[in-house]
Structure 1
Amino acid sequence: MTVVNGNHCTIRTSCTDCPLHALEGFRPFTPDQLSFISHFKVGEFTANAGATILVEGAHSAHLFTVLEGWGFRHKVLDDGRRQILNYVLPGSLVGLQGSLLGEMQHSVEALTPMTLCVFERDRIDELFRNHPALAYDVTWIAAREERILDEHLLSIGRRSALERSAYLLAALAERSRVTGQSKTKNGDPVHLPITQVHVADTLGLSVVHTNKTLRKLADRNLIRWLDRGCEVRNVTTLAEVAGWELPEEFGRPFL
């Protein structure tokens, strides 16, 4: 039996019945691809909110696809300052960097309770040798991650505090909707399970500056802060404030 972070992994959701297949944002597998993925998957790993999935500098024998929940990638300086690099939602591939480069260059933490599909790192070569379409999908996922990081770098480097806050909340709300984490219709408020500390650590702002900036967005009725998260009330206008165009993504791949 596969063990991850001291926990035994069992398969509770078959790849055939994967809930991500039902979402229009994800593309279906061919029968041959589904057969390989079913054998590639060795179990499922659950993590509580706040749990560490992968640690910077660690060598992991596994890589993961997020099945349920939210997490985030981050790095921490010696003095404890944290930079959140990106957020992972259902369909996100976690641990690919460690699989290809030998060790992780960042850590991954669960933001909410999470379920992740577990794959053996040693079989990634087989995927590239025998399943070129899936190998292309992995490359596509890596390229998409690079595009998201490009946008984050633009925010930190050139957008104002108001613009970068609007971009982050709009982008996360859109990702939440596409990945099925937001059970709402288009135009309905979207709940994000993040705090103002998460926003500050993502945007490179102080908590005080972040609070003042987010209050401006709340005063415009674009967002509302709750006890446990943020309610995004107008994604389109947030995107306009950020000068960001909402992406049109359909049929995105996942493993």
Structure 2
Amino acid sequence: MEHALNIALPSSGRRVPCEQCPLRAMPHFRAFETQELKFVASFKTGELMADTGTTLLAEGANSAHMYTLLSGWAFRYKSLPDGRRQILNYMLPGDLLGLQGSIIGEMEHSVEALSPLVLCVFQRDRLDDLFSNHPGLAFDITWLASREERMLDDHLLSLGRRTAIERAAYLIAFLHQRAAAVGPDGSRTLHIPITQAHVADTLGLSIVHTNKTLRKLADRKLIRWLDRACEVLDVDGLMQIADWDGLPERKRPLI
């Protein structure tokens, strides 16, 4: 059964110049060389704003654009013909969207906004220029693709070998660690904007099983479940349950 998609279209206006990008000031991201910054500023054609639930990229479609997430959350997923979906990964500020479509031509997954978003828009037909004339940026894109593969390896290991409570603990700790690197400082509470349906579609569990599993984590005072968000109370406790050491701390590229 086909569903109508609320698909966002790029705007042409630039509200945040690359030279003043708030992400560039974060210690999590590597600094651009002068020529790299100049190219990326010309590579960017505008910005896109999208509401929660908007489809940014659709499986099977072609897109003339790539995006860098400037603010907000999104998720990648694949669907079966009957509408069941598997969430593959989550996107946070600084992540690159649409590279697969730019290289292969047709998207093999969909991307949906998990919260209100602002994205930087890039023309995919200038990707050849980037690879030909800016080897540092070309390496950055390769690095980002490799990082995504590594995260998917970890997710597959979790789905295949961890118990339900270990899977849930891993997922929430993983999202918390990623969000903490690009989110507010420790003076503000960090909320992960996911529902129990998102958790179920990520972990391959039923809603009932997911609810029982998350309740166990809440009973241990590790998380607090809100209406459409999760507050992490003890990330170290979650990591201990999942037997997960966390993501490596290193500077990462930003396109």
Does the 8 A contact of 1:27 with 1:250 survive in 2? Answer: no
Say which of 19, 27, 34 aligns to 1:31: 34
Match of 1:231, SS state, is: strand
1:21 has 2:24 as partner: yes
**Separation in 2, partners of 1:28, 1:238:** 32
Aligned to 2:45: 42
**Separation in 1, partners of 2:28, 2:115:** 22
Q: Identity over aligned residues, as a percent?
A: 59
**Separation in 1, partners of 2:246, 2:159:** 19
Deviations 1:191-219 (A, max 9, x none): 10000100000000000000101111111
* TM-score (normalised: structure 2): 0.95
Deviations 1:18-60 (A, max 9, x none): 0101211111111111000000000001100000100001110
Match of 1:22, SS state, is: coil
Aligned to 2:58: 55
Say which of 111, 116, 119 aligns to 1:113: 116
Aligned to 2:92: 89
**Separation in 1, partners of 2:121, 2:206:** 36
Say which of 104, 123, 134 aligns to 2:107: 104
Letter in 2 for 1:185: G
Aligned to 1:242: 242
| 1:5–1:112 CA distance, 2 compared to 1 (3 A) | closer
Alignment: residue pair count: 249
**Separation in 2, partners of 1:8, 1:175:** 28
**Separation in 2, partners of 1:248, 1:6:** 35
Structure 1 unpaired stretches of 5+: none
Aligned to 2:186: 185
Does the 8 A contact of 1:9 with 1:44 survive in 2? Answer: yes
Letter in 2 for 1:175: R
| 1:195–1:101 CA distance, 2 compared to 1 (3 A) | same
**Separation in 2, partners of 1:131, 1:225:** 45
Aligned to 1:216: 216
Aligned to 2:197: 197
Does the 8 A contact of 2:165 with 2:213 survive in 1? Answer: yes
Structure 2 unpaired stretches of 5+: 1-6
